[in-house]
Structures are given as C-alpha cells and as structure tokens.
C-alpha cells in the first residue's frame, strides 16, 4: 500500500510539472528501458566480440570521437571485429583485408540505409532526398554521369576558373586565412556552379546563404538528431528549418527558370530537358550539392595545407602547371584564369601526374571516412563473424590508409609512395568495389584547377596561431568526421600575391 501511494504522489507531481518535463522524463525512461533490454540480449556463438560498454555510453564517443572510439574498440576486445549497440541499432565494426574485401563486394550491404541512420548530415525530405525509389536513385546517378561527360565538363572549366579568380581576388595581395573557411567556401561555389544552376551560382548572396544553411545541418547533426529524429530538440528544429529553406531556394530557382522560358547551358537545364520529374531535379541538387562540397572541400583544404608545408611538392606541382601552359601560348596580358581555361580537359586529366599523386596522397591521409552499410538480408558472415539481417556494418578507412604495414610512416605526406602490398583494396580513397565515388571526375578537375590557379597566383606557407612559419603542416584530426580539421586557430596559410594577374 505505501508503494502504490508513493507512485500516485510521484505521478501527480510529474504531471503538475508541465508537458516539457513529462516529455523529457518519458524519453529518459524510454532510453533506460532500451538500454536494459539491449544488455539482456544474448549473442550467438559466432557473433563478434561485444564492447564492454552500455549502449547509452557508446553514443557520444561514436559521434564525437569516432576515430579514438573505434581504435579503443579494437584494442579492448583484441579482435579484428567487434560489435556494440546505439540504442536498438546493432553496429558491427570490421577490419583487415578479408573483411574489407567482403565489405566492399557484398550485395546485401546497403550504403544508403547505413549512411542515413549513422550519419544524418544530408538534408532529408521524404521522396526527395530520402525514401527514394530505386528507379529515382538510378536516375540521379545517371544524371551525375551526364554532368561529367566530356562536353559538359569542358564547358564548366572556364566558368569554374572565373569563379575561382573572382573569389581569390577578394583575398587581397597578402595576408593569412584558415583554408577551412576560405578554400572550403570557394569549393562550395564551384560545386554549386557545377551541380545546380545560374540562378543560384551567379548570386553570391544566395550561395552564401545556402552554405550557411548546409553548415547548420552539419552543426545540427547530433547523436539525438540521428538516433531520435522524431525528438524535437533545438538542434533538430534548426535542421528542419534549414532543410526547408534549402528546399525553398532550389524550388524557387527551378520555378524561375521554367517561368522565364530562357534556356541556359547548365545542369538544371540538362535535368529539365531530360524531362525528369521535379522530385528528381530537387533531390539531385539538394543531395549532391553537400555531398560533393564536403568531400571535395575537405580535400582542397588539405591539399593547399600540405603543399604549404612541403615546398618541394609545391614547386613540383607549380612546375607541372607551368609546363601545361607552355603548350598553350597566349598573350601575356591574358589573366591566369584565362590561360588555364585554354588547357583542354584531356590535358588536365592525362598530363598532370604530380597533381594526381598529390590528390591521391591527400585522400589517403586526410579523409576521415568511415564506410557505413546496413545488411538488408539475409544474414551473412564476415571473417567467420555473424552479421545479422538488419545490423549495421562499419569499416573505418584508417584500417587501411593509416596501416603502417601497408603505408610505412602512415602519417607522413609523401605523394611518391605506393602501397607496400598487393592486398585487396589497399587504397580506397575514392571508395571500393561497386560503391566508388560517382562524382570523382568532376572532383578531380575542381581540385586541379583551384590548386593550379592558387599556386600560380600566390606564394604560401603554413604558420602557427601566432603567425610564425612552421616546418611541418598540422596533423589531420580524424575525430572530425567531416573535415579532419585541426583545432580552430592552431594554424593558417600565409600568402602573398605573385606578379601575375589572376
């Protein structure tokens, strides 16, 4: 009787506290119940080793310090694979050559489902960027391939170079900047130019607004917004509002084009001329803008940082670009952007081995990817370890790219290096198996023309927070799952304009 009276008193007190307290308390109780029920589950005999950690306590490390958390998991279990729970989501982490080979080739492991649940940084609009039919996904991939055809990509190069020239001019004759601000902003502009339309890319204010909205999605991607997307946290509300504004900007641009009746030579026109339904057009632009800008932007920031800290490679790359220009003589009065625009797409792709090696090495050492999949069934085994249907499977790129047996002194930036082994998938900078980066041709061209214009237009080096030149660039921070960015303010790139006009 005293027990029931106590419950009644507690219930009255809780209800009188108001809806926010009741709702929050209900969520806490739900999480505790999930945690308890998860801990009572028994694993099969052939299941991976389980981390000695409660599912609630795995959430923050997985989303905030993933590199350290996964390394700790391998260390504490002493196994090449292990599992843990994120609430009711079973996550299995694998490593090693055999597991890597299975991971990148198994048909039942779905990238879209894995990324959607464990990442959550793409704007989700039902039927537009999420819950897409297979046909629509296939069509979006087909259109991305069309953007990268020779004629379309050749047409884009002069326009992207002009965008780059315009933005670099705003940097002035000398100074210093954080590449993760200035260079990332530049790559975002080029990605908008390449994958959307003139109505957006020609308006710096709209592009800036769009970037801030996508930044809001990044900042607002918290463990709660990923695992409890229905819970109205302030971060989730900001994400929903940012997604709506992104959607409105894209739809407004499409509507303006349709109402004007004026045909323009850009990606939007290609999509409209193909007769694609509006959902496909909007989904293409909203999803691919941020996917392309993040990966290419991170690589560009690190390329210029590494070149600033390795003057020998900076000189090699600059000499290579100067050699290309020697084959395309123009009047000396032409701007650097105009001179570089005269270089053919075929030349950029086939005659820049130094830039290719720099891109490859940058992707190896400064792309903190963790590949994510979901087993859509049936159950399977990786290295003899059970992967149930519905489980999420994770493969950290650090397992291969920072492996000293494959890449001696793995943290060292050395574009001359080759893998010390013929192991399967010894390099996965652009993905592996059937899930390679579909936009890599466009990304390579963006990286090359931005690097070329910057190296010819500026001299630069890496300086510390006080402005003093440092002998080595900073180490990439693999716990930053988006940019690999070192602590803000710890370094910058100091630059001076060369005599040539951009």
Q: Is 496 helix (H, G, I), strand (E, B) or coil?
A: strand
The answer to whether the beta carbons of residues 386 and 331 sit under 8 Å apart is no
The reply, when asked if residue 484 is annotated as ligand binding, is: no
Angle between helix 278-309 and 134-147 (nearest 10): 50
CA-to-CA distance for 472 and 307, rounded, in angstroms?
Answer: 10
CA-to-CA distance for 381 and 99, rounded, in angstroms?
Answer: 9
What are the two backbone dihedrals, phi and then psi, of residue 87, each rounded to the nearest 5 degrees? 55, -115
Long-range contacts of 351-354 (CB under 8 A, 24+ apart): 351/324, 352/320, 352/321, 352/324, 352/448, 353/320, 354/313, 354/316, 354/317, 354/319, 354/320, 354/415
Q: Can the peptide bond before residue 498 be classed as cis, meaning omega within 30 degrees of 0?
A: no
Residue with tokens 């009572």: 40
Q: Which of 390, 387, 388 is nearest to 376 (CA)?
A: 390
Taking residue 260's Cβ as centre, other Cβ atoms within 10 Å add up to 10
The pair of three-digit structure tokens given for residue 62, joined into one six-digit string:
């997985």
Which residues define the annotated binding site for heme?
437
Which residues define the annotated binding site?
437
């Amino acid at each position: 009787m005293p027990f029931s009276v106590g419950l009644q008193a507690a219930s009255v007190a809780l209800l009188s506290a108001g809806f926010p307290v009741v709702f929050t308390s209900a969520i806490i109780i739900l999480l505790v119940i999930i945690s308890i029920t998860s801990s009572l589950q028994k694993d099969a005999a052939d299941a991976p080793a389980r981390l000695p950690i409660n599912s609630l306590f795995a959430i923050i490390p997985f989303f905030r310090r993933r590199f350290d958390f996964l390394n700790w998991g391998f260390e504490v279990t002493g196994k090449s694979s292990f599992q843990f729970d994120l609430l009711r989501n079973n996550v299995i982490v694998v490593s090693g050559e055999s597991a890597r080979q299975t991971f990148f080739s198994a048909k039942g492991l779905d990238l879209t489902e894995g990324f959607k649940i464990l990442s959550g940084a793409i704007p989700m609009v039902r039927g537009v960027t999420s819950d897409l039919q297979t046909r629509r996904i296939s069509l979006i991939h087909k259109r991305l391939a069309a953007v990268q055809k020779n004629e379309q990509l050749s047409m884009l190069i002069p326009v992207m170079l002009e965008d780059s020239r315009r933005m670099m001019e705003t940097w002035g004759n000398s100074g210093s900047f954080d590449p993760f601000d200035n260079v990332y902003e530049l790559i975002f502009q080029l990605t908008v130019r390449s994958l959307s339309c003139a109505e957006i890319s020609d308006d710096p204010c709209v592009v800036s607004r769009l970037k801030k909205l996508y930044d809001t999605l990044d900042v607002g991607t918290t463990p709660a917004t990923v695992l409890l997307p229905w819970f109205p946290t302030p971060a989730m509300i900001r994400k929903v509002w940012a997604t709506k504004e992104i959607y409105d900007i894209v739809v407004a641009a499409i509507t303006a084009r349709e109402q004007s009746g004026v045909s323009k030579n850009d990606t939007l026109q290609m999509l409209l001329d193909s007769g694609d339904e509006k959902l496909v057009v909007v989904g293409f632009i909203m999803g691919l803008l941020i996917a392309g800008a993040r990966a290419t932007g991170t690589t560009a920031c690190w390329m210029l940082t590494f070149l600033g800290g390795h003057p020998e490679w900076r000189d090699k790359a600059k000499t290579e670009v100067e050699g290309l220009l020697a084959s395309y003589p123009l009047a000396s009065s032409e701007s650097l952007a105009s001179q570089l625009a005269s270089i053919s797409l075929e030349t950029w792709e086939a005659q820049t081995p130094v830039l290719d090696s720099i891109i490859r090495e940058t992707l190896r050492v400064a792309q903190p990817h963790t590949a994510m999949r979901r087993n859509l069934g049936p159950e399977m085994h990786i290295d003899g370890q059970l992967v149930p249907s519905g489980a999420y499977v994770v493969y950290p790129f650090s397992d291969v790219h920072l492996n000293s047996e494959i890449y001696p002194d793995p943290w060292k930036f050395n574009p001359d290096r080759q893998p010390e082994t013929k192991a399967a998938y010894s390099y996965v900078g652009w993905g592996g198996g059937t899930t390679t980066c579909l936009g890599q041709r466009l990304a390579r061209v963006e990286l090359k023309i931005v690097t070329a214009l910057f190296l010819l237009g500026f001299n630069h080096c890496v300086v510390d927070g006080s402005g003093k030149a440092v002998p080595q660039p900073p180490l990439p921070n693999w716990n930053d799952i988006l940019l690999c960015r070192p602590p803000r303010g710890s370094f910058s790139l100091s630059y001076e304009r060369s005599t040539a006009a951009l």
